[in-house]
Chains A and B, each alone.
Chain A
Amino acid sequence: MSVPRDSREVHSTSRDTDERQLVAALRAGDEAAFRELIERYHLLLVRVAQAYVPTRAIAEDVAAETWLAVVQGIDRFEGRSSLKTWLFRILTNRAKTRGMRERRSLPFSALESEDSAVDPDRFRGPDEPFPRHWSAPPRALPEEELLGQEAREIVQRAIDDLPETQRTVITLRDVDGWSAEEVCNALTLSETNQRVLLHRARSKVRAALEQYLEEQAT
């Protein structure tokens, strides 16, 4: 089995072109371009800022300051990085400064306590035959049942229930389609920590889906 390539690569290229157009429009003071950008990124800015500052209100503040800096600094934007990278770099710098002022230790520096991807009870014990192999293996998921609105809600609820750091990472990676590198930069996470958080998050969403389907089946 080969490792799947990121299916969003093509998509991100067309997005680059469209970011260049947005930058040009924003330079010309075009309100529609600004609206497009805030619709696309404002909530993500707030979400990322929340990782650094103690309250949602301060995170909203930091995001608004970031927009001001973007509008005022757009003439100096050289396009060497993507607009998104630039935007989130401004945000992260401001959020960190603000977070330090509010004396909050950075939550991403400490990972949540170890939790396992799968309930340990589903594996054989160390002294049993075939130790640590499945005792209750996963079953094939009926894909058609997963296409409906209900499955979508299960996924959304599972994500909403995650610890903040895991929720932020899975949202950026799997909902908004960011690359690992973009997430590491925006959240100043090491690659390893980014991956651990993503792993925990995806594992929990998978478990929620599996549980939902088991309940459907009975």
Chain B
Amino acid sequence: MTSPETYDALSCQELVELVTDYLEGVMPAELRERFDEHIARCKGCTRYLEQMQLTIRLTGRLTPESITPEAERTLLDAFRSWTR
């Protein structure tokens, strides 16, 4: 870990709560600069950010849930009656 003044007051504990704002691209420019500066110097937070990005990628690999066969049958029957 480097000396605390290089972190410009943004602590690791604060940073982890800002990661989603950062990734969503909604952070005010000044805060984003501090975020980037912190990340550049802090291995723990770099890893943390990587883990969050990895989490998002892994979540994206889940198969979206699909309709049950029964519900599908019911809706298709209904569809036939609606369009008759």
Contacts and interface: CB of A to CB of B under 8 A. Distances in A.
B59 A39 contact: no
Nearest to B43: A137
A215 interface: no
A209 B16 contact: no
The majority secondary structure among interface residues of chain B is helix
Contacts of A15: none
Interface in A9-26: none
The majority secondary structure among interface residues of chain A is helix
Interface in B33-71: 36, 39, 42-45, 47-56, 58-62, 64-67, 71
Interface of A: 1, 3-4, 29, 31, 34-35, 38-39, 42-44, 60, 64, 67-68, 71-72, 116-118, 120, 123, 129-134, 137-141, 143, 146, 151-152, 155-156, 159, 170-171, 174-177, 180, 191, 195, 198-199, 202-203, 205-206, 209-210
Interface of B: 1, 4, 7, 11-14, 16-17, 19-26, 36, 39, 42-45, 47-56, 58-62, 64-67, 71-72, 74-76, 78-80, 82-83
Given A175-B59, A199-B20, 7 more contacts: A130-B1, A133-B11, A133-B12, A137-B43, A155-B55, A191-B26, A199-B19
- Closest 6 A/B residue pairs (Cβ): A137-B44, A132-B11, A199-B20, A134-B44, A174-B59, A132-B13
